């Protein structure tokens, strides 16, 4: 079972998951599309090779199913009845309790998210919101992170397009700090910091990438990474758990649009995508706005970034936004 250890120097919890060091990497062996698909545990016909699924969106066309969510075979956190205890002194430690699941984006082994039909992406988003709501009923869990790794340079080990969901028994310290910053802004201005940013970025315009009725995508003013894109909902809600069904078509549309532009402008770069919400239980709080960050992995953070925590970005967000807006699709 994974173990959580608390770093008294940084006040972060660190996850130790030695079993995960043994997970297979289907990207490291030379492969053809055919042999890869045959061996892929996420492809139709291999459902029995996995633990029982947590959620399934049934077939909408001639495929066996639309979306499946299954437990991760090499979890970073595990469901368990071990009581969470934080210990004391300089070496606090606890059992690595939590949930770690894989969201199989579609039955199709070869189609990137950017190339999926809108209905498929809507079903995917619906499935993750539903599964988040189900996880949230476990009072031992504090936070849910939803993310996607695209390409080996972004740390993915499985080629079949998928997302992951991790529910943690602690709120990550980085989230606590961002929430505290947003809360301070709210206390001072009676407004949501992210809604204010959305309004001002829209007014400035030079960093906007795409927009529709429900969402806006921009290269943030102080992007930590080159070509970072943030998608913000125009309707205030602190958590993706509170997204409405009516929000999902616009979200699917802007996500596809932005990823197609990124793919076209930078020749299918590796990227990480994270979906950030307020902690569980804070769904009704007004200080935070849930959002997506798409972070292309174009450079390697090195000693300066690791030692200082400061990012170095070699592309101005205004330039990145213009390149993305002009990308020919």
Residues with a known catalytic role: 162
Contact pick of 177, 205, 213, 244 for a copy of itself (by CB under 8 A): 177
- Chain positions 202 to 261 lying near a copy of itself, rule: CB under 8 A, are 220-224
Contact map string, positions 272 to 311, toward a copy of itself, x by CB under 8 A? xxxxx----------------x-x---xxxxxx-xxxxxx
158 lies in the site for a copy of itself, by CB under 8 A: no
Kindly state the smallest distance separating residue 53's Cβ from a copy of itself, in Å.
Answer: 21
Kindly state the smallest distance separating residue 22's Cβ from a copy of itself, in Å.
Answer: 9
Stretch that binds a copy of itself, among 37-45, 56-64, 108-116, 314-322 (CB under 8 A): 314-322
What value, to the nearest 5°, has the Cα angle with vertex 168 and ends 180 and 23? Answer: 135
Count, residues near a copy of itself per rule CB under 8 A: 77
Please report where in the chains the tokens 């990438």 appear, as a residue.
209
Contact pick of 44, 71, 117, 172 for a copy of itself (by CB under 8 A): 172
- Chain positions 97 to 126 lying near a copy of itself, rule: CB under 8 A, are none
Kindly state the smallest distance separating residue 246's Cβ from a copy of itself, in Å.
Answer: 26
178 lies in the site for a copy of itself, by CB under 8 A: yes
Number of neighbouring beta carbons within 10 Å of residue 296: 23
320 lies in the site for a copy of itself, by CB under 8 A: no
Contact pick of 5, 191, 236, 285 for a copy of itself (by CB under 8 A): 5
Contact 109, 33 (CB under 8 A): yes
1 lies in the site for a copy of itself, by CB under 8 A: no
The most distant pair of C-alpha atoms in the chain lies apart, rounded to whole Å, by 58
d(CA 113, CA 96): 31
Dihedral of CA atoms 17, 18, 21, 23 in degrees, nearest 10, equals -70
Stretch that binds a copy of itself, among 43-51, 85-93, 116-124, 246-254 (CB under 8 A): 85-93
Dig out the tokens for 216 from the structure: 């806006």
Chain center to CA of 230: 12
Sorted by sequence, the CB contacts under 8 Å of residue 202 that are 6+ apart come out as 208, 211, 216
Kindly state the smallest distance separating residue 233's Cβ from a copy of itself, in Å.
Answer: 16
6 lies in the site for a copy of itself, by CB under 8 A: yes
Number of neighbouring beta carbons within 10 Å of residue 6: 19
Kindly state the smallest distance separating residue 142's Cβ from a copy of itself, in Å.
Answer: 11
Q: Which is nearer to a copy of itself, 321 or 329 (CB)?
A: 321
Residues 56-86 as b/e (b if ≥16 CB within 10 A, e otherwise) read: bbeeeeeeebbbbbbbbeebbbbeeeeeeee
Sorted by sequence, the CB contacts under 8 Å of residue 177 that are 6+ apart come out as none
Kindly state the smallest distance separating residue 93's Cβ from a copy of itself, in Å.
Answer: 8
């Amino acid at each position: 079972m994974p173990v959580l250890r608390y770093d008294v120097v940084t006040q972060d919890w660190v996850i130790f998951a030695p079993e995960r060091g043994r997970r297979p990497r289907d990207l490291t062996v030379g492969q053809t599309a055919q042999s890869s698909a045959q061996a892929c545990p996420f492809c139709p016909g291999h459902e029995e090779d996995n633990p029982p699924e947590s959620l399934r969106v049934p077939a909408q066309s001639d495929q066996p199913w639309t979306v499946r969510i299954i437990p991760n075979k090499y979890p970073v956190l595990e469901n368990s009845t071990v009581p969470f205890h934080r210990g004391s002194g300089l070496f606090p430690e606890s059992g690595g309790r939590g949930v770690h699941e894989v969201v199989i984006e579609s039955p199709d082994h070869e189609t990137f998210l950017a190339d999926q039909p809108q209905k498929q992406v809507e079903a995917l988003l619906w499935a993750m919101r539903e599964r988040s709501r189900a996880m949230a009923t476990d009072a031992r869990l504090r936070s849910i992170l939803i993310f996607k790794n695209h390409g080996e340079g972004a740390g993915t080990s499985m080629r079949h397009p998928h997302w992951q969901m991790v529910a943690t028994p602690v709120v990550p310290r980085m989230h606590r700090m961002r929430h505290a910053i947003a809360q301070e802004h709210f206390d001072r201005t009676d407004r949501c910091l992210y809604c204010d940013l959305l309004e001002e970025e829209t007014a400035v315009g030079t960093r906007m990438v795409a927009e529709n009725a429900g969402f806006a995508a921009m290269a943030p003013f102080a992007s930590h990474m080159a070509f970072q894109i943030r998608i913000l909902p125009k309707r205030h809600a602190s958590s993706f758990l509170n997204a409405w069904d009516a929000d999902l078509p616009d979200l699917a549309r802007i996500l596809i649009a932005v990823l197609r532009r990124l793919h076209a402008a930078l020749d299918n770069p590796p990227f990480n995508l994270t979906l950030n919400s307020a902690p569980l239980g804070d769904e009704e709080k007004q200080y935070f706005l849930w959002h997506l960050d798409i972070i292309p992995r174009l450079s390697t953070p090195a000693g300066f970034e690791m030692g200082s925590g400061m990012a170095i970005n070699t592309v101005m967000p205004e330039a990145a936004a213009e390149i993305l807006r002009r990308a020919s699709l």
